[in-house]
Amino acid sequence: MTHDPARRILLAALAAAPLVAATKAAPRLSAKVSETGIGAYVAGSPDAKLRLVQYFSFTCGACGAFAAAADAPLKTGYIDKGLVAFEYRNLVRDPLDMTAALLARAGGPSAFPGHYRAIMAAQPQWLAGATKLPEATRAAWYEGTLSQRAARIARDSGLAGLMRGRGLTAAQIEAALNSEVAQAAVTAMTNLALGADRIHSTPGFVLQGKPLDHVHDWAALKSRLDQALRPA
């Protein structure tokens, strides 16, 4: 048996090297999404210091601007740090908004944030396209059952195409638009906003159970969050 000095050195080095266990990174808190009793979706830890509710409309330009400005800083600076649990609630303004709200719920809680961001990011395109449609086309959006109206709107506005681009099948889109459970949840959230929560414009916010007056953009909301998190 031969003794290779180089091989002995290599084996000794390997034996002395620390063993690094392959660890899987823990999922970010913002990726943990659950459904509330009223059908809203909440991102973040249930033990977060603050509970923040956003009432939004998919056909609200200010809501689109908020989504673009707040997405990254809210997730990394507040939700992922366990400071804020962020609840999405619909405040539906029109049939087009209802259609987008139903489509965003396809796939349940885990899929919702991605659908929300995609619909909001493309809002300038599909909303502008919808407003340019012939009057007769838009008039048909008010005929038939809610599901029938939503199917026409999704097709005419391009929202169905947007969701197909996100990997949804025609059957999944149809199921989302036909879901009476989802329709009832979105309607209930809207009624709650206009009633008990006293929200009459979007985006509107409720922090720790109290509506935030005059807060409709990320800068104003960030200021209120930082104030609430400041040690007494």
Q: pLDDT of 53-93, one tens digit each?
A: 999 999 999 999 999 999 999 999 999 999 999 999 999 99
Can you give the length of the chain in residues? Answer: 232
8 Å CB contact between 211 and 199: yes
pLDDT band at 11 (very low <50, low <70, confident <90, very high): very low
Please compute, for residue 189, the number of CA atoms within 13 A of its CA located in the half-sphere on the CB side.
28
Q: What is the pLDDT of residue 13?
A: 46
Residue 31 has pLDDT above 90, yes or no: yes
8 Å CB contact between 27 and 75: no
3-state helix, strand, coil in the chain (%, to 5): 55, 10, 35
For residue 24, give both structure tokens. 């899987």
* Secondary-structure class of domain 38-229 per CATH: alpha beta
Q: pLDDT of 145-197, one tens digit each?
A: 999 999 999 999 999 999 999 999 999 999 999 999 999 999 999 999 999 99
**Separation of first and last alpha carbons in the chain:** 75
**Torsion angles phi and psi, residue 36, rounded to 5:** -85, 175
Please compute, for residue 137, the number of CA atoms within 13 A of its CA located in the half-sphere on the CB side.
14
pLDDT band at 5 (very low <50, low <70, confident <90, very high): low
8 Å CB contact between 129 and 158: yes
H/E element holding 210? strand 210-211
> What are the CA-CA distances from residue 124 to residues 62, 119, 134, 168 (Å)?
11, 10, 18, 21
Average pLDDT, rounded, for the chain: 92
- Please tell me the distance from the alpha carbon of residue 137 to that of residue 152, in angstroms, as a whole number: 9
Q: What is the pLDDT of residue 21?
A: 43
- Please tell me the distance from the alpha carbon of residue 225 to that of residue 232, in angstroms, as a whole number: 14
CA pseudo-torsion sign 127, 129, 132, 138: negative
Q: pLDDT of 203-219, one tens digit each?
A: 999 999 999 999 999 99
Specify the 3-state DSSP secondary structure of 13. helix
| Torsion from C-alpha of 97, 103, 107, 109, nearest 10 degrees | 0
Give the residue-averaged pLDDT of 114-135: 97
Q: Are strands 50-56 and 204-207 parallel, antiparallel or unpaired?
A: antiparallel
The residue ranges of every structural domain in the chain are 38-229
Specify the 3-state DSSP secondary structure of 107. coil
Give the residue-averaged pLDDT of 31-54: 97
| pTM listed for this prediction | 0.87
